[in-house]
Chains A and B, each alone.
Chain A
């Protein structure tokens, strides 16, 4: 290929850095990735900061401040392909728990001079503000999935990122189901796969890191949890975690609020 290498930029909104670090954590594949792209902007990894436009932008983090809103609009203009990574960027993240509370009240309790704090009422995913080309779920994302998305982009093919339940990967691995064999509550049936059924492989129920799967019937699972002995509060908290503000999970947690 005579073409120049595509320019990759990695941006951060409101988040913990865990997802973008998965790129650095992909030690074995990192050099190959860097062989295929030009790392134009990645403050976490390199002091080199080239100006846009960029071919691919990876965005971590949710939109929680007026500054985030401005930044993401500019990033969208600067990037040909915009890929959001992680539960914060795709669903608002754990910080979306504040969406059910009064943010002003929090700032008053936490900060000595709350008047300096400029924040939005809610923590929202990037796609609430700009068009997103691909969303890579997870809290944190799976580094192999991130490599797969970049790989697919570099080779002009469809990424192999299924949107079905954790159960499918769980069964493909040959696991014994913890719900049916051990009466352990598992979010797997309503959660999109991505971790290769990590928790059920260690005899634990899934916590829902990757958010709702393609056709999550949360009400049916909530009913089953209840039959297994859960209270409404347990069910509410099961759906209100890393992906609390993803629509299907949000509705189910609200249905079990009172």
Chain B
């Protein structure tokens, strides 16, 4: 373990930029923390924190100058690996036939600064979606193989976080190149640094890093532990797959449907949801056509429209699909839960529907399976 100060964090950004990375990090925009390109540590949300509740998110001023004193906002890193809108290919009329042209845009080379533990887990989960035995998404993998990841361990949780239940945080155990824990104490403002890959070690070697003292390591661990112990939300995941599979007709689904807007915000903010649709466009002459991929959601009605009809017309069926996919059928599909407990779907649901509470209701009154 090593420690670095703020100026060395800035140095990291500089080195990565010099190495050709586009550095992405948290910034303040329109009253929330979002992810965008940063130039230096001056772009980071110094002194900002967040307060989150079901259906509510507020940025608040902290009484210190910490750079990572908040948790996750409305966006996740998925927008860089799995962009909201993306042109897959285009084709031009060519006599009586046509020619297909694939994109020759260079693959972006991203460095992600400030990836939380739950978000790292979400990236692992999307890895299974976009790179598995059946299917490989070339764009996703090309970007993924190039990323430099600097994770930041959470030293406090929002009221909406439940990563402890989902075994995905608050401390990142692997999958990062470098991990940081921010400490502000009597002995100053510093970051306890852990490097896990060769790339990470090479970069750290270029810094003025010091060997962390036992006290510094302990200070970092205590802070992460306090995030863990202070976590207010939880989800009991024992037998959750069977619980949801056996409660397909539970009355709670219809009750949720009276509250749910089918607005799809929960799926779009979720760092693991991967659903998308295809759109074909043409120019007016019909000589040029493009195929675009854009995010979609199981909450949109057209999403489940197939030849002959729609198999999920009611909002009740759509909410049930979302929750059952996240927490149950995802396990059959990808060998892991589709939820990392980041709490985004809770904070950003305009009517504050809380996935942990809805699971609890079903667990507390399960329909006995006949």
Q: Which residues of A contact B (CB under 8 A)?
A: 29, 32-33, 35-36, 147, 150-152, 154-155, 157, 160, 162-165, 167-168, 171-177, 179-183, 186, 188-190, 203, 213-215, 217, 219-221, 223-224
Contact = CB atoms under 8 A, between A and B. Distances in A.
Nearest to B265: A167
A-B interface, 3 closest residue pairs, ranked by CB to CB distance from nearest: A189-B263, A171-B268, A164-B300
Nearest to B32: A176
A182 B350 CA distance: 11
A134 to B, nearest CB: 15
A177 B348 contact: yes
B84 A172 contact: yes
A66 B263 CA distance: 39
A25 to B, nearest CB: 16
A150 B348 CA distance: 36
A164 B264 contact: yes
Interface string B291-334: 00011110111100000000000010000000000000000000
A171 B285 CA distance: 32
A180 B286 contact: no
B352 to A, nearest CB: 8
Contact of A177 (B295, B315, B350): B350
A78 B126 CA distance: 53
A186 B350 contact: yes
B238 interface: no
Nearest to B301: A214
B160 to A, nearest CB: 11
Contacts of B269: 171
Interface stretch (B50-58, B212-220, B239-247): B50-58
A43 to B, nearest CB: 23
Contacts of B296: 168
Given A35-B285, A154-B286, A172-B294, A165 B280 contact: no
A160 B281 contact: yes
Q: Which of A176, A217, A221 has the most chain B CB atoms inside 10 A of its CB? A: A176
17 contacts: A160-B279, A171-B265, A171-B295, A172-B84, A174-B34, A174-B79, A176-B30, A179-B350, A180-B55, A181-B30, A181-B32, A183-B56, A213-B262, A214-B302, A215-B262, A217-B259, A221-B350
A189 B259 CA distance: 12
A29 B284 CA distance: 9
A220 B260 CA distance: 7
A240 B264 CA distance: 24
Contacts, number: 139
Contact of B261 (A35, A150, A189, A203): A189
Contacts of A173: 84
Contacts of B31: 176, 181-182
**What is the predominant secondary structure among interface residues of chain A facing chain B?**
helix
Given A171-B269, A217-B262, A181 B58 contact: yes
A163 B301 contact: yes
A164 B301 contact: yes
A217 B268 contact: no
Given A160-B279, A160-B281, A167 B351 contact: no
B321 to A, nearest CB: 14
Q: Which of A152, A157, A172 has the most chain B CB atoms inside 10 A of its CB? A: A172
Contact of B57 (A29, A163, A180, A186): A180
Nearest to B264: A168
B347 A164 contact: no
Nearest to B349: A180
B282 A180 contact: no
Nearest to A147: B284
A213 B59 CA distance: 31
B295 A172 contact: yes
B103 interface: no
Contacts of B257: 217
Given A151-B284, A217-B260, A162 B300 contact: yes
